[in-house]
């Protein structure tokens, strides 16, 4: 696992990506390799490189200096590739089975070479097909519990924690979240996108000062509450899964933020998938409850076994932190549900509902529940998500 700095940034092509992995010694110079650009996200190039004879394969991911989804008019810092590579290595130190292995990173080229996970499916795609991934919440709850505790002030020395906060400073990507998740959907802004039929519901949201105040408070907490290293974009499109394995990818939005943010985004995306289904919703609601239970149990066990904070002997501190974490997660889930319905970046779970009438109804319900979550952060327990749809 190495990191280098080359002279000059340039976007890779399929040919130069092959040259790079051969130069790194990850394949022999004589091997016949095939490369394909498979990036379907909003921001990066992703090359899948394979030797068709041996089936050995690898992923080369490169950040572009702008947001691919909009074009060169939206410049973005390349440093996000280094943040992503550092975060993957950091997560891998605590939960190696839940992230891809990183083989190489180049800061200037903004390139990371990593394990190919194409034997797995992006969980959003699988969930849309009706999969339920029985181990998904066990794995994600454990991932979040480990990362939350082990990168927090309760595990790190105070000076080390502050250095980590600086290392993961990620202003451009935080700004995307501050705008797209917390601000734009709550105002009449050009980048929002929604069906004409939803306009009355959206205008009601824009005129709801109480909901907007909660969004503003959560945005402020997101920007200022450096509790732990968060993934920063933990939706179901950032998770590969099968019936046995789960792998978290794409932490380019990682930075030091609130304990509840990743939890809220993950829960929101499970909920949106449940909302898109006509049947078999139960596994999604069970995942929401189990994610929280596993998170809480993992965090609590580490609190008791590894805490370096003298005040941590008082159990009330743990209780307060966990209670606040869940309440924040409910609020963040509300923001995520709203922005995935009417903001710039939608989710296929809702957009691909084939009946127009059912799609509009589902989106209307999403807006209603998103608002409810923002207004009732203190009242919604994990197993109540199920009842919100009744
Ligand atoms: C311009 S980026 C749009 C969205 O894609 C990413 O995955 C994040 O969710 C971001 O909000
Ligand atoms: Mg992503």
Strand pairing report for 228-230 and 255-257: antiparallel
**Three-state SS at 92:** helix
Contact 64, 45 (CB under 8 A): yes
Binding site: what residues are annotated? 44, 61, 115-117, 233, 250-252, 339
Question: Rounded CA gap, 41 and 127, in Å?
Answer: 18
Q: Is 167 helix (H, G, I), strand (E, B) or coil?
A: helix
C-beta of 233 in contact with ligand 1 (< 6 A): yes
The finding on whether 345 has its CB within 6 A of some atom of ligand 1 is yes
Q: What is the pLDDT of residue 69?
A: 76
For residue 74, the model assigns a pLDDT of: 87
Q: What is the pLDDT of residue 355?
A: 98
Q: Are 158 and 379 in contact (CB under 8 A)?
A: no
**What confidence score (pLDDT) does residue 274 get?**
98
- pLDDT by residue (tens digit) across 314-345? 999 999 999 999 999 999 999 999 999 999 99
pLDDT of residue 99: 99
- What is the enclosing helix (H) or strand (E) of 113? strand 111-115
Q: Is the pTM of this model over 0.95?
A: yes
Q: Confidence class of residue 374 from pLDDT cuts 50, 70 and 90?
A: very high
Domains of the chain: 14-115 (3.30.200.20), 121-389 (3.90.1200.10)
User: Does an H or E element contain 62, and which?
Assistant: strand 57-63
Count the helix, strand and coil residues of the chain and give each as a percent rounded to the nearest 5. Answer: 55, 15, 30
In this prediction, residue 269 carries a pLDDT of 99
Question: Is the CA virtual torsion 362, 343, 246, 98 positive or negative?
Answer: negative
Query: What strand order describes the sheet that includes 2-4?
Result: 2-4, 102-106, 111-115, 57-63, 44-50, 34-37
Residue pLDDT, tens place only, 267-304: 999 999 999 999 999 999 999 999 999 999 999 999 99
Say what the pLDDT of residue 285 is: 98
Rounded to the nearest angstrom, the distance between the alpha carbon of 332 and the centre of ligand 2 is: 18
Q: Is the CB of 336 under 6 A from ligand 1?
A: no
Tell me the average pLDDT across 356-370: 98
Q: What is the reported pLDDT for 41?
A: 76
Atom of ligand 1 nearest to the CA of 69: 1
In degrees and rounded to multiples of 5, residue 275 shows phi and psi of -60, -30
Cβ partners under 8 Å of residue 117, min gap 6: 59, 100, 240, 247, 249
Question: Residue 2: pLDDT band by 50, 70, 90 thresholds?
Answer: low
pLDDT surpassing 90 at residue 3: no
């Amino acid at each position: 696992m190495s990191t280098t700095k080359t002279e000059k940034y340039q976007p890779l092509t399929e040919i130069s990506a092959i040259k790079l992995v051969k130069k790194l010694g990850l394949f022999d110079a004589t091997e016949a390799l095939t490369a394909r650009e498979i990036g379907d996200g909003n921001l990066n190039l992703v090359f899948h490189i394979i030797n068709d004879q041996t089936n050995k394969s690898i992923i080369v991911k490169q950040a572009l200096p702008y947001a691919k989804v909009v074009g060169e008019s939206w410049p973005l810092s390349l440093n996000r590739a280094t943040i992503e590579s550092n975060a993957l290595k950091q997560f891998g130190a605590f939960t190696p089975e839940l992230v891809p292995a990183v083989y190489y990173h180049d800061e200037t080229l903004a390139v990371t070479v990593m394990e190919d996970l194409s034997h797995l499916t992006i969980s959003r795609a699988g969930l849309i097909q009706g999969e339920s991934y029985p181990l998904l919440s066990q794995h994600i709850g454990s991932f979040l519990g480990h990362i939350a505790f082990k990168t927090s002030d309760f595990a790190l020395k105070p000076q080390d924690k502050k250095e980590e906060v600086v290392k993961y400073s990620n202003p451009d990507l935080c700004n995307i979240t501050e705008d797209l998740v917390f601000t734009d959907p709550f105002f009449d802004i050009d980048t929002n996108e929604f069906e004409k039929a939803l306009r009355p519901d959206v205008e009601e949201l824009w005129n709801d000062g109480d909901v907007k105040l909660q969004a503003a408070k959560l945005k402020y907490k997101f920007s200022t509450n450096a509790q732990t290293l968060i993934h920063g974009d933990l939706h179901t499109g950032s998770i590969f899964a099968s019936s046995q394995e789960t792998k978290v990818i794409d932490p380019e939005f990682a930075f030091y933020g609130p304990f509840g943010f990743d939890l809220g985004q993950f829960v929101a995306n499970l909920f949106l998938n449940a909302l898109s289904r006509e049947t078999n919703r139960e596994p999604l609601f069970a995942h929401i409850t189990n994610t929280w239970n596993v998170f809480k149990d993992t965090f609590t066990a580490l609190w008791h076994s590894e805490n370096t904070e003298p005040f941590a002997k008082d159990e009330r501190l743990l209780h307060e932190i966990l209670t606040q974490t869940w309440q924040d997660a409910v609020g963040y889930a509300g923001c995520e549900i709203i922005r995935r319905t009417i903001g710039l970046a939608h989710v296929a779970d809702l957009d691909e509902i084939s009946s127009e009438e059912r799609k509009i109804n589902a989106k209307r319900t999403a807006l209603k529940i998103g608002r409810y979550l923002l207004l009732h952060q203190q009242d919604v327990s994990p197993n109540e998500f199920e009842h919100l749809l009744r």
